[in-house]
């Protein structure tokens, strides 16, 4: 399993933005090259077929334009992963999550099954398409939604119709709300709105730990679910609530507690969670709530292996894009679990799965800014490669042209943001402390350049609006798009130059420490 998600509600961020972010991590032994692209309405397919599932879906007319970060090599499918559309709705898809045998027995995953035999022969079995999955979701969801809640509604209807071949969590954001949906078995699902003053730290484990069926099957203010969730749970004895069986609300809905814990009912509690999943949630929460007795002191309530770390918390201080990027790049910095650290032992430093792992191929922090006009509201902070060694570029999303530096070739090249970051990481890793100062300086300066570029371009747009009478809420204004694209291009060029300097630095350091080094003064 792969990926780590961090979601931050608008009242928990420093500027009132909604932030949804995720590390897209490759499977073991693979490194997927990623690009950032704009998909025009004319280029969006009207009939879509998944490579993994062989499932064909007819898509609606009138799709929205959007940006996303697909695989450079389309052989395995699109894998759009993260993006923002022309209605300023964001998506990050997906966080692979866990489940248990009870759930899969009650509603099996819908896996692709190839044809067996030949038509007309005895025992012939036709091909069975699989359900929808991570490969497909950005393509079949993002162009058709105008709010975060609509994202849940569309995904839920597709899950009920086609099913899924894997367990996933997907986040949607707009200027007001963040919604997070988790699949439950092959066709069922639950979703919860992230409280405005909270963040969610989500590893590869089913996360939602509080659910109100009355709201989900009624007003849907904070919860949503598949229409038959309660009756399906009751029929398959999936409720594990102790006590009188009525849960916290003291009442039942179709034989199921009105308020229950989905993580207990649908999720996993395994040794793998203790070393692979729980520590990532613990570290992010510890950093964002460091003064809380939940995570600090002689006897904190939660530790790195705790199964019951709450799904959402109010942070101790408001959270910025920079904070999100740094957390998703972390390797348990400052603890005995840091593989680059000097604390603990060799065993403790490799005990848990890192957040900023070597096989991260892309991380996007998707920011919807309430103070910006609609045409400049969505910003996708894009990072390629392993988080401890890379940076994020602030790209306005309402554009048609993407800087060439983000168009990754399949051949290794220093003309590419992706490949340069891969090279820097591979060279810097063996001499981490020798390179740390250069990398930290590079990251701080390039992130600062991103903040500065947004502020300058926002001001330029306001000046243009006054001088030319432009409508800055018009998403298709050619003048506005030209300004946004120029900002993106200029910032990408700044980062390219910084990457050249950083690569030069880490290459020099690595070269000095080659095993065949020898000098005349060595005698």
pLDDT digits (tens, 9 = 90+) for 480-508: 999 999 999 999 999 999 999 999 999 99
In this predicted model, which residue has the larger pLDDT, 297 or 47? Answer: 47
**451 lies in some domain:** yes
Q: What is the mean pLDDT of residues 156-184?
A: 98
Same domain for 120 and 21, yes or no, is: yes
d(CA 143, CA 172): 13
Q: What is the mean pLDDT of residues 463-472?
A: 95
Range of the domain at 435: 417-515
**398 lies in some domain:** no
136: Cα separation from own chain's centroid: 15
Q: What is the mean pLDDT of residues 290-297?
A: 92
Same domain for 452 and 363, yes or no, is: no
**273 lies in some domain:** no
Same domain for 367 and 431, yes or no, is: no
What pLDDT is recorded for position 162? 98
Same domain for 27 and 105, yes or no, is: yes
Closest CA to 491 of 373, 403, 390: 403
Contact 13, 320 (CB under 8 A): yes
What pLDDT is recorded for position 29? 83
Question: Can the peptide bond before residue 94 be classed as cis, meaning omega within 30 degrees of 0?
Answer: yes
CA dist list (Å): 164 to 1, 53, 92, 111: 16, 9, 17, 8
What pLDDT is recorded for position 136? 98
**521 lies in some domain:** no
- The pLDDT-based confidence of 123 (bands split at 50, 70, 90) is confident
* 145 has a pLDDT exceeding 70: yes
* 523 has a pLDDT exceeding 70: no
Same domain for 363 and 446, yes or no, is: no
Express each pLDDT in 356-377 by its tens digit: 999 999 999 999 999 999 999 9
What pLDDT is recorded for position 431? 94
Express each pLDDT in 395-437 by its tens digit: 999 999 999 999 999 999 999 999 999 999 999 999 999 999 9
Phi-psi region of 16 (alpha: psi -120 to 50; beta: other; left: phi over 0): left
Number of domains in the chain: 2
What pLDDT is recorded for position 209? 98
Q: What is the mean pLDDT of residues 234-243?
A: 93
Express each pLDDT in 349-358 by its tens digit: 999 999 999 9
**491 lies in some domain:** yes
What pLDDT is recorded for position 94? 95
**447 lies in some domain:** yes
Same domain for 364 and 431, yes or no, is: no
- The pLDDT-based confidence of 441 (bands split at 50, 70, 90) is very high
Which of the residue ranges 321-330, 332-341, 407-416, 514-523 would you say has the lowest mean pLDDT? Answer: 514-523
- Reply yes or no on whether 363 is catalytic: no
* 244 has a pLDDT exceeding 60: no
Same domain for 363 and 452, yes or no, is: no
d(CA 505, CA 489): 25
What pLDDT is recorded for position 31? 86
Helix H segments across 224-361?
229-235, 262-266, 271-272, 278-288, 321-328
- The pLDDT-based confidence of 30 (bands split at 50, 70, 90) is confident
Closest CA to 60 of 156, 134, 158: 158
Check: pTM over 0.95? Answer yes or no: yes
Same domain for 366 and 449, yes or no, is: no
Residues 6 or more apart in contact with residue 477 via CB below 8 angstroms: 375, 470, 471
Same domain for 48 and 157, yes or no, is: yes
* 210 has a pLDDT exceeding 90: yes
Using only C-alpha atoms, the chain has a radius of gyration, in whole angstroms, of 24
Sheet with 37-39, side-by-side order of all strands: 37-39, 66-68, 82-85, 90-96, 168-173, 178-184, 188-193, 223-225
**233 lies in some domain:** no
Q: What is the mean pLDDT of residues 205-231?
A: 98
Same domain for 81 and 135, yes or no, is: yes
* 381 has a pLDDT exceeding 70: yes
Same domain for 50 and 106, yes or no, is: yes
d(CA 334, CA 323): 16
Which of the residue ranges 160-164, 496-500, 519-523 would you say has the lowest mean pLDDT? Answer: 519-523
**67 lies in some domain:** yes
- CATH code of the domain in which 313 resides: 3.60.60
* 245 has a pLDDT exceeding 70: no
Same domain for 97 and 17, yes or no, is: yes
d(CA 357, CA 285): 18
């Amino acid at each position: 399993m792969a990926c780590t998600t961090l979601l931050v509600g608008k009242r928990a961020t420093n500027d009132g933005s909604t932030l949804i972010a995720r590390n897209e991590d490759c499977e073991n032994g693979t490194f997927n090259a990623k690009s950032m692209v704009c998909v025009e309405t004319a280029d969006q397919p009207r009939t879509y077929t998944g490579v993994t599932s062989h499932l064909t879906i007819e898509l609606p007319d009138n799709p929205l334009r959007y940006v996303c970060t697909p695989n450079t090599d389309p052989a395995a499918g699109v894998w759009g992963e993260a993006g923002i559309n022309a209605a300023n709705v964001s998506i990050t898809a997906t966080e692979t999550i866990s489940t248990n045998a009870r759930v899969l027995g009650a509603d099996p995953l819908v896996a692709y099954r190839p044809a067996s035999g030949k038509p007309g022969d005895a025992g012939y079995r036709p091909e069975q398409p699989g359900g929808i999955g991570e490969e497909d979701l950005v393509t079949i969801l993002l162009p058709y939604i105008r709010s975060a809640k609509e994202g849940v509604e569309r995904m839920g209807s597709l899950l009920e119709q086609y099913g899924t071949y894997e367990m996933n969590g997907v986040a949607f954001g707009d200027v007001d709300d963040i919604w997070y949906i988790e699949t439950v078995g092959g066709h069922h699902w639950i979703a919860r709105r992230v409280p405005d003053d909270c963040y969610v730290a989500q590893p590869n484990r089913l996360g939602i730990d509080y659910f109100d069926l009355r709201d989900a099957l009624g007003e849907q203010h904070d919860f949503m679910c598949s229409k038959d969730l309660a009756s399906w749970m009751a029929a398959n004895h999936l409720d594990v609530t102790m006590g009188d069986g009525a849960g916290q609300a003291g009442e039942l809905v179709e034989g199921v507690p009105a308020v229950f814990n989905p993580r207990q009912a649908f999720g996993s509690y395994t040794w793998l969670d203790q070393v692979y999943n729980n520590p990532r949630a613990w570290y992010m929460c510890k950093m964002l709530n460091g003064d809380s007795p939940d995570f600090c002191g002689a006897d904190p309530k939660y530790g790195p292996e705790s199964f019951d770390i709450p799904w959402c918390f109010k942070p101790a201080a408001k959270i910025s894009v920079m904070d999100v990027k740094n957390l998703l790049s972390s390797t348990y910095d400052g603890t005995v679990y840091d593989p680059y650290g000097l604390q603990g032992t060799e065993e403790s430093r490799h005990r848990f799965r890192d957040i900023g792992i070597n096989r991260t191929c892309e991380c996007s922090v998707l920011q919807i800014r309430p103070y910006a006009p609609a045409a400049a509201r969505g910003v996708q902070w894009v990072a390629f490669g392993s988080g401890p060694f890379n940076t994020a570029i602030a790209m306005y999303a309402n554009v048609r042209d993407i800087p060439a530096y983000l168009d990754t070739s399949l051949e290794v090249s220093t003309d590419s943001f992706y490949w340069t970051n891969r090279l820097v990481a591979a060279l810097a890793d063996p001499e981490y402390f020798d390179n740390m100062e250069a990398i930290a300086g590079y990251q701080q300066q390039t992130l600062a350049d991103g903040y500065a570029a947004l502020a300058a371009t926002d001001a330029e747009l306001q000046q243009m609006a006054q001088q030319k009478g432009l409508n800055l809420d018009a998403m298709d204004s050619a003048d506005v798009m030209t300004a946004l694209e120029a900002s993106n291009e200029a910032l990408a060029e700044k980062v390219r130059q910084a990457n050249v300097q950083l690569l030069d630095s880490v290459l020099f350091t690595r070269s000095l420490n080659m095993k065949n080094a020898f000098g005349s003064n060595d005698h």
